[in-house]
Amino acid sequence: MRPVWVHFYSFLAAFVLFGSTFLPAQSTSPAEPVNIKEKALDLFMYNKPAEALPLFETALRQSPDDGDLYLYLATCYEQLGDIEASIRTFEQGLSRAGGKKTHFLHNLGNNYYKLEQYDQALKMYNQALQANSRLPGPYLNRANIFVRQGDYMEAIADYRVFLNLEPNTEQRENIEKMINLLNDKIVLAERQRQEEERLRREEELRQQELLQQVLDSLEESGEETQNLSAGTGDVKEYEQEFDIVD
């Protein structure tokens, strides 16, 4: 009888040589297709917009009605500094935005703001607030535009609404400073307006008084050139000059 270890090593050698015949066959089915949108989202969440962007573009071509893809793609463009491409993408996806329409409009407003196209930005912020009047961001950004345009009362109103919606905002101190500064400017502007109005009235009165003085002077000098009247010596002198010799 052979020792046990001889039988063991014989088995081990056979396994090494022919072991693959004892193992279950591996599946040869093709790998599952990669979900491009999920891959793009992973890159986006890891702050890799340059890598995510072409994947979002591909996913959008495959699913042109997916509103989320427009939102993420436009945001990638924005993060990469291509503001005009971001605007185009937001506008193209607006009709497919669904419940995210306010976000599309708000971001459109922000992008127009970056391009200093303030009228367009205001238009987008107004539409966003029409869709959702409780959205804080548009109030703050719209107020900043009003300040640039000199509409201080409108700016103060929007700043106050923003603070009501976001009472714990980190920007509260700066916003309150801005409100105080704008109130001071409004008071100063009103004082200047009143002073200008006072000076205008004084000048108007001075001109009217001067006009009356000149008119009185003209009327006084006119009395010395009265028309000829009957019973005066002037008439007699004229008659003598025109006597007809018979």
Q: What is the mean pLDDT of the segment spanning 40-55?
A: 96
Q: What is the mean pLDDT of the segment spanning 26-47?
A: 75
Domains 35-132 and 134-202 fall in the same CATH topology: yes
For residues 244 and 52, the model is more confident at 52
The angle subtended at Cα 182 by Cα 148 and Cα 167, nearest 5°, is: 95
pLDDT of residue 32: 42
pLDDT of residue 199: 87
Q: Pick the closest to residue 197 from 187, 207, 189 (CA basis).
A: 189
Asked whether the predicted pLDDT for residue 23 surpasses 60, the reply is: no
Q: What single letter denotes the amino acid at residue 143?
A: A
Q: Where are the domains of the chain?
A: 35-132, 134-202
Contacts 24+ apart (CB under 8 A), 109-112: 109/138, 109/141, 109/142, 110/141, 111/78, 111/83, 111/86, 111/87, 112/87
pLDDT of residue 241: 52
Q: What is the mean pLDDT of the segment spanning 22-43?
A: 65
Q: What is the pLDDT of residues 69-125, one digit of tens each?
A: 999 999 999 999 999 999 999 999 999 999 999 999 999 999 999 999 999 999 999
Asked whether the predicted pLDDT for residue 18 surpasses 50, the reply is: no
Asked whether the predicted pLDDT for residue 127 surpasses 90, the reply is: yes
Asked whether the predicted pLDDT for residue 29 surpasses 60, the reply is: no
Cβ atoms of residues 112 and 121 within 8 Å: yes
Sign of CA dihedral 34, 35, 40, 45: negative
Asked whether the predicted pLDDT for residue 196 surpasses 50, the reply is: yes
pLDDT of residue 232: 53
Fold of 35-132: 1.25.40
Q: Pick the closest to residue 208 from 197, 219, 216, 218 (CA basis).
A: 216
Angle between helices 101-114 and 83-93 (to 10 degrees): 160
Band of residue 25 on the pLDDT scale cut at 50, 70, 90: very low
Q: What is the mean pLDDT of the segment spanning 15-42?
A: 57
For residues 235 and 42, the model is more confident at 42
Rounded distance, CA 41 to CA 45, Å? 6
Cβ atoms of residues 76 and 56 within 8 Å: yes
| CATH architecture designation of domain 134-202 | Alpha Horseshoe (1.25)
Rounded distance, CA 51 to CA 40, Å? 8
How many residues belong to the chain? 246
The angle subtended at Cα 94 by Cα 121 and Cα 119, nearest 5°, is: 15
pLDDT of residue 15: 36
